[in-house]
Copies of this chain bind each other. A is one copy, B any other.
Amino acid sequence: MEFSSYLPIWDKLTHAQQEMILGSVICRTVKKGALLHNGRTDCTGLLLVRSGQLRAFILSSEGREVTIYRLFDRDICLFSASCILHSIQFDVTITAEKDTDLWIIPADVYKQIMEQSAPLANHTNEIMASRFSEVMWLIEQVMWKSMDKRVATFLLEEAAIEDTDCLHITHESIAHHLGTHREVVTRMLRYFQREDMIRQTRGVIWITHRAKLEALNDG
């Protein structure tokens, strides 16, 4: 079964535990833009990405957003199943950034096995530590980096994810990723264009001078 190859500790589960997962896992296909999880009260289950792209973000009371991490093929989302751990005391929203195929492992099944299985509990620890590292990176960005560097970093990341220097992304979407206002992004991109780092035409941002953008990012 293909599914087993997505959980690296699969072979360390007992046969009964494997059967429990296989008997409960749900396969789902969602469209780009779909809302998969919304806040702490939902306990949607663990989301395992077969192919596609998800985005986890937090929302302010005024509706501002900031991306805390993104999930790609073979990544697993724990925080859509926050009921598996009492101490998860925060809300994240998860949406599909691309059409996505995923598996959903019901939270109660995962929790029950995790309580018995040291390998699954330790694997969960590694996943959480990995997301923790991403969130710490975000704090460092927000605390110490100016917005021009953050926008440059975001464009370069986006180019790496999409494997192209031609980015179809709106100013508003960039603002939501970075937790700022659209006007701030628009101003910054105009500055990048004046400095010949990018060119903007009809909803497309072209990276025209990658080295300059990288220098800004590193500086």
Contact = CB atoms under 8 A, between A and B. Distances in A.
Contacts of A125: 85, 114, 121, 124-125, 128
A142 B135 CA distance: 13
Number of copies of chain A assembled together: 2
A60 B117 contact: no
Interface string A81-93: 0000111111000
A40 to B, nearest CB: 10
A115 interface: yes
A132 B142 contact: no
A132 B78 CA distance: 12
Interface in A107-144: 114-118, 121-122, 124-133, 135-140, 142-144
A64 B179 CA distance: 22
Interface in A129-179: 129-133, 135-140, 142-144, 179
Contacts of A143: 58, 60, 64, 66, 142, 179
A126 B90 contact: no
23 contacts: A58-B136, A58-B139, A60-B144, A61-B144, A62-B144, A64-B143, A66-B143, A68-B136, A85-B126, A86-B129, A88-B129, A88-B133, A90-B132, A90-B133, A114-B118, A115-B118, A121-B121, A124-B125, A125-B128, A128-B129, A139-B139, A142-B143, A143-B179
